[in-house]
Structure 1
Amino acid sequence: MAKKTVDLKEKIKHEYLDYYLTKGHDPKTVYHFCKELKIKEEAYYEHYNSFAQIRADIWRSLFLETKKGIMEDDVYSSYSVREKLLAFYYTLGEMLKSKRSFVVQDFPRSPKEFIKKSQIKAFKEPYLLFVQDLVQEGIETGEIKSRSKLEAKYKEALWAQCVFIIDFWTKDDSEQFEATDAAIEKAVNLSFELMGASALDSILDFGKFLFHNRDKMRYQ
């Protein structure tokens, strides 16, 4: 019985994805969709309550399969935090290829619109937990500098980085997505330079100095 339930859920997801990519929009109603699948509506609602939830499930699967892929690599645990994030993005790129038509169609022209889409939370929420663990590990190893006022914002900054990478990938027409690989490396390296002990600390220190000495800088 459990296997049949799983098989039906996968069938619903597969048939919906085929319809969505072929027609460019959702089926008219759940009733029409179920009629084409020759299943009862109640069977559909045992797995999903909307078509948006199916898309959310696809985005969730992209994250879970990516994480599973890196965790199954025997050498992953020996990587630095920077290398772990690089491994995640490179593996995500491979996973995205298997759903490229869906990702390109479901990803709006503006990354800001993408962030607002409700189904993206299914990818974003586990991603934030994943990078929060990486940030904590990086602080413990010294790869990331602990900054009380900025530390809580690191994961959101990394989420913006992830959205940038997916957006770049959807528009990448280079051979074997080589441009995306280069973008990943540059983006990750920059983020670790900023999160580590870097010029950012000098900027912050200088900002504090200017603030505390603002009276001295006023024109007489």
Structure 2
Amino acid sequence: MEAKNKVISKEDIVSLYMDYVLEKGQKPKSVYHFAKENDFDEVEFYAFFGTLEGLEKEIFRMFFGNTVDLLNKNEEYQQYDMKNKMLSFYFTFFEVLTANRSYVLEALKLERNPIRNLAQLTALRDSFKEYVSEILTDDYRLEQERFQKFQEKAIQESAWLQLMMTIKFWIDDASPAFEKTDIFIEKSVNASFELMNVAPINHLIDFGKFLFKEKVYSKQ
């Protein structure tokens, strides 16, 4: 009864939910069941979330928010160009994911339907696309104003696809300290900026060789 007298916060509910999924190996059947299991009133849940699905989305958005908060604490980050900001984001974001790896693997594994898994990431997707738009510089914008909005959307979508590919690589990565994911990040970000810059394709070739090597040796 004592726990019910305590004011529960949004962060408390998120922590309880992550623990529930990890300990039970499944998601709660309902908000009522989840609240009862954790000794707080159902109405307290609805003060922050409308549904369990909304809570799941918020967890991944919070991973993103924690990443940006950490980046903004670094004074040097503000002086970086777009590519180095993106690299900093990736390395920091995957540090956050790694700190919560057990939950991320469990949450995405529980849903066999890939569409359902993508639904969990919609809030992350919106936040990430906004972030890409914020760091987009004139160096990568077309001079023709009428094409700029189309170009920006294309960059956002391709950046999101790249992030999803990196998450998948990280999930499958069994290397110590996920060092192969670090290599994947560096090569894929370099390759994407080569394309944006319409520059020589050295990084694209380098990234292609890395992927080919990983595919060949992973089958052995």
Tell whether the structures are fold-level matches, with TM greater than 0.5. yes
Which segment drifts farther, 35-44 or 93-102?
35-44
Cα distance in 2 for residues equivalent to 1:32 and 1:122: 25
Unaligned 5+ segments in structure 2 are 1-5, 202-220
- The answer to whether the aligner puts 1:155 opposite 2:148 as a matched pair is no
Distance 1:85 1:173, change over 3 A: same
- After TM superposition, the score normalised by the length of structure 1 is 0.78
* Equivalent residue number for residue 98 of structure 1: 99
Q: Distance in 1 between matches of 2:141 and 2:200?
A: 12
Deviation at 1:117? 2.8
Q: Quick one: which amino acid aligns to residue 10 of structure 1? A: E
The change in CA–CA distance for 1:114 and 1:63 in structure 2 (over 3 A counts) is: farther
Contact 1:104 1:170 in 2 (8 A): yes
Q: Which amino acid in the other structure matches residue 189 of structure 1?
A: N
Structure 1 residues 78-137: Cα deviation after superposition (integer angstroms, max 9, x where no partner): 212111100000001110112101111223599x926863231111101001101222x1
**Among the aligned pairs, what percent are the same residue?**
33
CA RMSD of aligned residues (A): 2.5
Residue 56 of structure 2 corresponds to residue 55 of structure 1: yes
Deviation at 1:179, TM superposition (A): 0.3
* Aligned twin of 2:179: 178
Point out the more displaced range, 156-165 or 10-19.
Answer: 10-19
Gaps of at least 5 residues in structure 1 are: 201-220
Q: TM-score, normalised by structure 2?
A: 0.78
Residue type of the alignment partner of 2:124: F
Q: Which has the higher contact order (CA 8 A, sep 6+)?
A: 1
* Matching residue of 2:198: 197
Query: Is the partner of 2:121 in helix, strand or coil?
Result: helix
Q: Secondary structure of the equivalent of 1:47? A: coil
Does 2:89 match 1:74?
no
Alignment of 1:13 with 2:18, yes or no, is no
